[in-house]
Chain A
Amino acid sequence: MQMYRDMVRIRKFEEKVYLLFLEGKVLGTIHQYQGQEAVAVGVCSALRRDDCITSTHRPHGHCIAKGVSLDSMMAELFGRATGCCKAKGGSMHMGDASVGAIPAIAIVAGGVTLAAGMGLAYKLQHSDRVVACFFGDGAVNEGAFHEGVNLAAIKKLPVVFVCENNFYAASTPMQLTTPVGIAERAAAYGIPGVVVDGNDVAAVYQATVSAVARARSGGGPTLIECQTYRTAGHSRGDSGAYRPKEEVELWKQKDPIERLKRHLIAQGVGAGLAPAQVEADLAAIDSEVDREIETAVAFAEASPPPQPEDALLHVYGEQVAA
């Protein structure tokens, strides 16, 4: 039920952000997460609060799943001083280190070497924390991917590499860029590589639980390829004309939230509940999430913008509050 709630929070947040973007209230650009919710939620549900994630230019889902507050995220998108990055980051650098989400990294594959370093820190600190590193299928052809995964593998660092394979790097289909399966590449580094149905939150969760257990116990990294699909465009204004309509429709039928809903109803029936009862419970969650998002929008709208001179702060580490 908590996974359902978080997936709905992501979906409804993104839908609201899209409307607010069209209204001109959300500025800049946005890369939306609709359709991939099971990946963020499945992975983050297998993490502890003190574990960390690295995210990408498409970070809203990861942040919500890791526990960044919707208020502070919405305020960030509105460019308000109360934003999770004090309006310095925006959509593509969303994060809140206090819940284990460092600022999202909008350079493709940029998080891979940093995640290795975070894992190295945990190892040197004799901590059992782990880091989950999110990246897309487009990232696996960056040099940083190779260098970061290789270092994590040879040093047995506690990293879970999570590839969200949505089959398109912006508009370019994977078959034009990537000659072997992504999970197969794990063999080149001597680490486990697994393919999971990225629209099945339980499958993502189970794969992550195994990878996290391995990482925590000193076994080193795992590469999880979550096959999924973004039902929205790559970024604002992308109509997705490069994708066959039938393909989009097919994936919409595999919608991760609808699937989880069916699963929960079946599970409820198995436990002796009437389907209508479970549906009512889920609808109640939907309504609560609606209210939570309304509250976040109201918070953002009521929040003050930063002072222009605030742009000069936080360039150097001594300006970070202890």
Chain B
Amino acid sequence: MKRLSIAEALREAMREEMQRDERVFLIGEDIGIPQGFGGAFTVTLGLSDEFGHERVVDTPISEKAIVGAAVGAAMMGMRPIADVQYSDFLFCAADEIVNQAAKMTYMSGGTVKVPMVLRAPVGATNRGAQHAQSPEGFFMHVPGWKVAVPATAYDAKGLLKTAVRDDSPVLIFEHKRLYGKGGRKEAGGLDLTSDIPDEEYLIPFGQAVVRREGADLTLVATLLMMHRSLAAADQLAQEGINIEVIDPRTLVPFDDDAVLTSVAKTGKLLIVEEDNLTGGWGAEVAARVADAGFDLLDAPIKRLASYDVPMPFAPVLENFVVPSVERIVELARAMGRGEV
């Protein structure tokens, strides 16, 4: 047993999978340069020393080539883990992601596999509009991709290892504010490390976890918002409002049953996401619960998300746009009291 941060857990997952399976390799920008960064967020640090530059492939700044090469290599029997430094850059490779990776198995009539992983950091961190987005919703819309959203180091390791072994393309969205060991004010002062068992483990896709039990309100959130929701739930517990916090862990496949089971208990659903409101993944979850769980609901489903604006730079602006613990508390309290 050891305590690891998300960055360390992801690194350990990659190391183990590369040791286990020689088809696994890494491809991206700045990931294996000697004395370099280990990727934009240190996740691949040291792996090129261990596995060599042949299996830790540094590329030009060419997101289309990174994703396209991963698709091509995956079709030829490899298991690439591709890395774009910020999820905003996924849009540079939209064709390779949406038209190529997602559709190759289907267009081939089920004769070609594309077993690749694409890692993409999300979240607003005072870097302005083009290094801040949380575009999970865009990509869960595309049939063919699976989408994982690990909020803890334990999940990050288990989900990445599962992704490498999956026969479909898998996008893993990692949150920039959650990579470190935590304790920083911006991350809410949380301890972001997890106990990582010495023995190997995988986390199956499509299995949500209940992070905190409660009878008054179901709250579904991922990544940083999941941690802020837990902080909000702690506060509200002191007021006698008990919130059940569910972390779906994967958006595709999505564990509808976990949410419906919880809503059957609480009668109320709040979805908190960092993406802006319109067309986010929360809208899909709300629609599914309204459809399959209408009779379970005692109140309208509510969504709390970033406002429908590009992400601003200044902290005072960004903090206003992205749901804060205070805003979650406010809305959850009102829902718990039956005011909305």
Contacts and interface: CB of A to CB of B under 8 A. Distances in A.
Interface of A: 52, 83-89, 93, 95-98, 102-103, 105, 107, 110, 112-122, 124-125, 131, 143-144, 147-148, 150-151, 154-155, 313-321
A151 B70 CA distance: 12
Contact of A107 (B95, B108, B114): B95
Nearest to A145: B64
Interface of B: 25, 27, 54-55, 57, 59-60, 62, 64-65, 67-78, 80, 95-96, 99-100, 104-115, 143-144, 146, 166-169
Contacts of A320: 105, 110-113, 167
A120 B57 contact: yes
A89 B105 contact: no
A151 B108 contact: no
Nearest to B169: A317
B166 A117 contact: no
A107 B76 contact: no
A124 B68 contact: no
A107 B99 contact: yes
Contacts, number: 164
Contacts of B54: 124
A113 B167 contact: no
Given A107-B95, A110-B100, A319 B110 contact: yes
Taking each of B70, B75, B76, which has the highest tally of chain A beta carbons within 10 Å of its own beta carbon?
Answer: B76
B72 A120 contact: yes
Contacts of B111: 85, 96-98, 320-321
Contacts of B104: 102-103
A105 B108 CA distance: 11
A10 to B, nearest CB: 22
A103 B71 CA distance: 13
Nearest to B72: A117
Contacts of B75: 97, 102, 114, 117-118, 121
Contacts of B96: 110, 113-114, 144
Nearest 6 CB-CB pairings of A with B? A113-B68, A117-B72, A317-B167, A86-B109, A117-B69, A314-B110
Contacts of A88: 106-110
Contact of A316 (B60, B99, B168): B168
